[in-house]
């Protein structure tokens, strides 16, 4: 029985993915930030899917120490992993904020957390006959990214949409870089892909203080957004379909590989982002 870990799975897209994979017979482990809510959603998924092989883990993925703890608990309790869905993420407030570990919050939860969690669980994923890593990115990487490679955490010129766009661009680059590394190592039983789920009507960004103009725009656009189930579709496809066997290092939209913006891309910058994440996470969880 395949086993999947889905971060940020107490609502929205993550919950939709968890329900469908449980329906398909996966053993599903969901992650959330709040013990009571995550436990409640875990029971709900069991009821909806008819699958009792659903469990949960709790961690605050803004903090790398908590990411390390989550990976350690996963190893200890389960010992097998076939599908990792790095779904947790978020758009932050209009004022720049850092975590208690000193990382800008957008970068922490959208980039550093999936990078570190993937690295810490890579041994299990490599042991799977058909391992899959799915990183949830966004079209914002085209619309809003404007990275400054001398100021990756935007200490200057911070804007929440710019920070989010940058983070989702960096996550695609990390996806591409990991895929290259796996290929160089001759590992063909593990793939890693990024996905844009579409604009989805979830609670995403609801608690962010984005300012009045952005809030009004979001409210007006909301009726045109996809449902969480529609947003989850391509993630479920990447997690379970035989049609994507062996496909790696790609960015998917509506079940199809899509173009990634090349505006800021060079191989050197992709490597720079990988090295930056590697060095920063190692310094925090040594």
Place of tokens 């890693």: 192
| Burial tier of 93 (Cβ tally within 10 Å: 0-12, 13-18, 19+) | middle
Quick check: 117 and 70 in contact, CB under 8 A? yes
Bridge partners for 5 per DSSP? 29, 84
Kindly report the average pLDDT of the chain as a whole number.
91
* pLDDT-based confidence at residue 201 (cuts at 50, 70, 90): very low
| Catalytic option among 158, 264, 265, 276 | 158
pLDDT of residue 185: 97
Quick check: 46 and 17 in contact, CB under 8 A? no
Q: What is the pTM of this model?
A: 0.91
Name the pairing type of β-strands 83-86 and 54-58: unpaired
Quote the CA–CA distance of 85 and 99 in Å, as a whole number: 23
Quote the CA–CA distance of 234 and 111 in Å, as a whole number: 21
Who contacts 116 (Cβ-Cβ below 8 Å, separation ≥6)?
64, 67, 68, 71, 277, 281, 285
Residue from 247, 50, 46, 45 nearest 134 by CA: 247
> Domains of the chain, with CATH numbers?
3-285 (3.40.50.720)
100-131 burial code (b ≥16 CB/10 A, e <16): ebebbbbbbbbbbbbbbbbbbbbebbeebeeb
Residue 78 annotated as catalytic: no
Q: What digits encode the pLDDT tens for the residues 129-172?
A: 999 999 999 888 988 999 999 999 999 999 999 999 999 999 99
The DSSP annotation for 84-134 comes to: EEE-------SS--B-TTS-BHHHIIIIIHHHHHHHHHHHHHHHSTTEEEE
Quick check: 245 and 179 in contact, CB under 8 A? no
Place of tokens 């029985």: 1
Say whether pLDDT at 212 is over 90. Answer: no
Q: What digits encode the pLDDT tens for the residues 66-98?
A: 999 999 999 999 999 999 999 999 999 989 999
Residue from 192, 201, 197 nearest 253 by CA: 197
């Amino acid at each position: 029985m395949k086993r999947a870990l889905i971060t940020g799975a107490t609502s929205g897209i993550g919950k939709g993915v968890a329900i469908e994979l449980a329906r398909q017979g996966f053993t599903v482990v969901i992650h959330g930030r709040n013990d009571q809510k995550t436990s409640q959603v875990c029971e709900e998924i069991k009821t909806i899917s008819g699958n009792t092989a659903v469990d949960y883990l709790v961690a605050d993925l803004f903090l790398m120490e908590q990411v390390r703890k989550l990976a350690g608990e996963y190893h200890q309790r389960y010992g097998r992993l076939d599908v990792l869905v790095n779904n947790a993420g978020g758009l932050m407030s209009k004022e720049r904020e850092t975590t208690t570990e000193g990382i800008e919050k957008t970068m922490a939860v959208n980039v550093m957390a999936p990078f570190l969690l993937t690295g810490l669980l890579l041994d299990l994923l490599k042991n799977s006959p058909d391992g899959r890593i799915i990183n949830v990115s966004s079209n914002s990487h085209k619309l809003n990214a404007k990275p400054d490679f001398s100021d990756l955490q935007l200490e200057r010129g911070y804007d929440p949409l710019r920070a989010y766009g940058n983070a989702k661009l960096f996550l695609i680059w990390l996806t591409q870089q990991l895929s290259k590394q796996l290929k160089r190592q001759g590992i063909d039983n593990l793939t890693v892909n990024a996905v844009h789920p579409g604009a989805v009507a979830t609670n995403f960004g609801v608690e962010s203080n984005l300012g009045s103009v952005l809030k009004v725009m979001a409210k007006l656009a909301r009726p045109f957004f996809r449902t969480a189930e529609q947003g989850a579709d391509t993630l479920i496809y990447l997690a379970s379909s035989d049609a994507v066997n062996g496909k790696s290092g790609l960015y998917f939209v509506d079940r199809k590989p899509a173009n990634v913006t090349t505006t800021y891309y060079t191989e050197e910058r992709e490597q720079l982002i990988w090295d930056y994440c590697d060095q920063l996470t190692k310094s925090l969880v040594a």
